[in-house]
Amino acid sequence: MAKLVEQYIDIAKKRNPGEPEFHQTIEEVLTSLEPVLEANPQYVEAGLLDRLIEPERMITFRVPWVDDEGKVQVNRGFRVQFNSAIGPYKGGLRFAPSVYSGVVKFLGFEQIFKNALTGLPIGGGKGGADFDPTGKSDAEVMRFCQSFMTELYKHIGPDTDIPAGDLGVGAREIGYLFGQYKRILDQYSGVLTGKGIPYGGLQGRTEATGFGIVFFTREMLAHFGESLEGKSVAVSGFGNVAWGTVTKLNELGAKVVTISGPDGYVYDEDGVSGEKIDFMLKLRASGENIVEPYAEQFKSAKFFKGEKPWGVKADLYIPCATQNEIHIEDAKKMVENGCKYLCEGANMPTTNDALEYLQKHNVIIGPSKAANAGGVACSCIEMGQNAGHTVFTPTQVYEQLEQIMINIHKQAAAASAKYGYGYDLVKGANIAGFLRVAEAMMAQGIV
Ligand code: 2IT
C-alpha cells in the first residue's frame, strides 16, 4: 500500500509542478491513509484518491485596480473549489504577496478534511490574491476588493461556494467584498462569512478560531491528565487567530509569554494579559504588520528582532502565524527545551521533517486541520443564521463551538487508535476527515 500511496503523491507532484506547499500536504495526508486504503480496497477501485487530489475546479483571474497615485496595479486572484462531496465549497480568502496557486491548493486541500471533521455540511475551497494589504489606504483596499469580487461573484453563491477571511482578509475586506456582491446581484444572502454583526455576521465568529484552538489543546492535555492552569505558552503571530488564542488561554489560567510578527518576537515575562491583549488589536489595526511597538509600550517585554519564539522555554507551543514557520532546527530547539505539546493554530505551520522529528521525540501534536476548525465551524453556523433569517446569541455559538472541538478531538483520537497509530492526532485527524468525505464520494458515483 505504501507503494500505491507513493504513486498518488507522484501524480500530484507531476501535475502540479513548482507547488511545494501543495506537495507537502498531499504527502502528509496520504501517508496517513495507508492502513485505511488497505482496509478499504473499494476506495482504490473507485479511483477515489485520483479524484480527491485533483480540484473540482481552479479559477485564476486578473484583478486590475487603481492606486491612490492613479497608477494601474494588477494582481492575480484565485479560487480553488476542491471538493463538494459533503457540502458547498467553504473556505477563506487570503490576501498576501506569497499567495500563488500552490498556496491556494494546499489550503484548499487541508480545508476538505478540516471541514469534514467539524461534522457540518461544508466542502473544501480556498482563494485569495497576491495582494499585499500592508500600508494600503482604506480606499485602495476597497477598490481592490471591488475589482476582485467583480470576477469572483460569477463563481460563488450561498449554496455554491461561501468564502470567508484568512490572512489579510478581515472585517474591513469582507465588508467591501459583500457590498460589491450585493450591488452586482441585488441579492442579500449569506454568500460570505465573517461579516460584521450589523449585516448578518455571527456574534462569536471573530474569536472562534482562537477559542477553538484552546478548547482542542485543553482536550489534548486532559488526555494525559493535565490542564492549562499555570502552563506557560509560546504563541506566534499577533493577528486574529493569535488574539483569540491568547484571550482564551488567559481565561483558562495559562500564561502566554510570546507573540510574534514578521519583524521578530516579543517575550513578556509577566505574560500577555489584560490591556496587553487589547494592544494586539491596536498593533493589527495599525496596518504595519510589526510587533516591536509592544515592547516599547510594556516594560515587562523584550523584543527579539528577526527571530521566531521557538527557542523560548515553555510548557506548550501554539504557532498562530502562517505555514512552515517551524523548521527542523526549531523542532530541535523545542525538544532540547523539554517540549511536550504543540498545538497548531495556523494552517500547516510545521514542515513535514520537523513534524516527524517532534513525533519521534514524543511531542504530542494537535494538527491544524483539527485544532483550528472552530473558525470554519462557526462560519457554517453563520451560514445557518443567514439562511434561517435569524440571529444567534454568543452563548449559543460558544456552546456549539466547544462541543464541536470536543468531538473533533474524540474523532481524531478514535480514528488513530482504530488504525493502529495509538494516540496520534495528526494521523487520526487525516483519517477521520478522509473517511467522511470518502463515504460521501462513494455514494455519489464517479463525479
Ligand atoms: O483556514 C480556515 O479555516 C479559515 N480561514 C476560515 C474559513 C472559513 O470559511 O471560515
Which tens digits make up the pLDDT trace of 121-152?
999 999 999 999 989 999 999 999 999 999 99
Q: How far apart are CA 268 and CA 310, in angstroms?
A: 14
Does the pLDDT of residue 54 top 80, yes or no? yes
Average pLDDT over residues 57-82: 98
Does the pLDDT of residue 18 top 80, yes or no? yes
Say how many C-beta atoms besides its own lie within 10 A of residue 132's C-beta. Answer: 15
C-beta of residue 377 within 8 angstroms of C-beta of residue 401: yes
Nearest atom, ligand 1, residue 111 CA: 3
The alpha carbon of 248 and the centre of ligand 1 are apart by a number of angstroms equal to 19
Closest CA to 248 of 334, 330, 318: 318
Average pLDDT over residues 382-397: 97
C-beta of residue 104 within 8 angstroms of C-beta of residue 69: no
Q: What is the pLDDT of residues 202-219, one digit of tens each?
A: 999 999 999 999 999 999
The answer, yes or no, to whether any atom of ligand 1 lies below 6 A from the CB of 164, is yes
The alpha carbon of 90 and the centre of ligand 1 are apart by a number of angstroms equal to 8
Query: What cell numbers appear for 69 in the block?
Result: 497615485
The alpha carbon of 270 and the centre of ligand 1 are apart by a number of angstroms equal to 32
Q: What is the pLDDT of residues 363-387, one digit of tens each?
A: 999 999 999 999 999 999 999 999 9
Residue with cell 466542502: 123
Amino acid present at 291: V
The answer, yes or no, to whether any atom of ligand 1 lies below 6 A from the CB of 240, is no
The answer, yes or no, to whether any atom of ligand 1 lies below 6 A from the CB of 379, is yes
Average pLDDT over residues 1-27: 94
pLDDT given at position 253: 98
The answer, yes or no, to whether any atom of ligand 1 lies below 6 A from the CB of 375, is yes
Q: Which residues pair with 343 in a beta bridge?
A: 366
pLDDT band at 3 (very low <50, low <70, confident <90, very high): confident
Q: How far apart are CA 164 and CA 176, in angstroms?
A: 12
Instruction: List the catalytic residue out of 126, 195, 231, 276.
Output: 126
Average pLDDT over residues 163-190: 97
Nearest atom, ligand 1, residue 114 CA: 3
The answer, yes or no, to whether any atom of ligand 1 lies below 6 A from the CB of 322, is no
Question: Could you tell me the CA-to-CA distances from 279 to 247, 249, 259, 308, 413 in Å, in that order?
Answer: 12, 16, 12, 20, 37
Q: What is the pLDDT of residues 242-272, one digit of tens each?
A: 999 999 999 999 999 999 999 999 999 999 9
C-beta of residue 291 within 8 angstroms of C-beta of residue 260: yes
Q: How far apart are CA 246 and CA 267, in angstroms?
A: 14
Q: How far apart are CA 137 and CA 145, in angstroms?
A: 12
C-beta of residue 117 within 8 angstroms of C-beta of residue 432: yes
Does the pLDDT of residue 177 top 90, yes or no? yes
Among 166, 323, 368, 404, name the best residue to mutate to test ligand 1's pocket (greatest count of ligand atoms within 8 A of Cβ): 166
The alpha carbon of 16 and the centre of ligand 1 are apart by a number of angstroms equal to 23
The answer, yes or no, to whether any atom of ligand 1 lies below 6 A from the CB of 323, is no
Q: Percent helix, strand, coil in the chain (nearest 5)?
A: 50, 15, 30
Output phi, psi for 268, to 5 deg. -115, 105
Among 25, 109, 111, name the best residue to mutate to test ligand 1's pocket (greatest count of ligand atoms within 8 A of Cβ): 111
Closest CA to 435 of 422, 416, 420, 421: 416
The alpha carbon of 392 and the centre of ligand 1 are apart by a number of angstroms equal to 20
Percent of the chain topping pLDDT 90: 98
Compute the CA torsion angle 109, 112, 113, 117 (nearest 10 deg). Answer: 160
Active site includes 369? Answer: no
- What three-state secondary structure class fits 73? strand
Average pLDDT over residues 28-45: 96
Nearest atom, ligand 1, residue 163 CA: 9
Closest CA to 158 of 397, 419, 440, 389: 389
Among 379, 381, 385, 408, name the best residue to mutate to test ligand 1's pocket (greatest count of ligand atoms within 8 A of Cβ): 379
If you write DSSP's letter for every residue of 167-224 in order, what string do you get? TTB-HHHHHHHHHHHHHHH------SSS--GGGTPPTTHHHHHHHHHHHHHHHHHHHT
pLDDT given at position 26: 98
The overall average pLDDT reported for the chain is 97
pLDDT band at 1 (very low <50, low <70, confident <90, very high): low
Q: Is the dihedral of CA 125, 130, 135, 141 positive or negative?
A: negative
Residues 6+ apart with CB under 8 A from 200: 190, 382, 385, 386
pLDDT given at position 446: 96
The answer, yes or no, to whether any atom of ligand 1 lies below 6 A from the CB of 91, is yes
Rg (CA), the chain: 21
Q: What is the pLDDT of residues 327-375, one digit of tens each?
A: 999 999 999 999 999 999 999 999 999 999 999 999 999 999 999 999 9
pLDDT given at position 248: 98
Average pLDDT over residues 83-109: 98
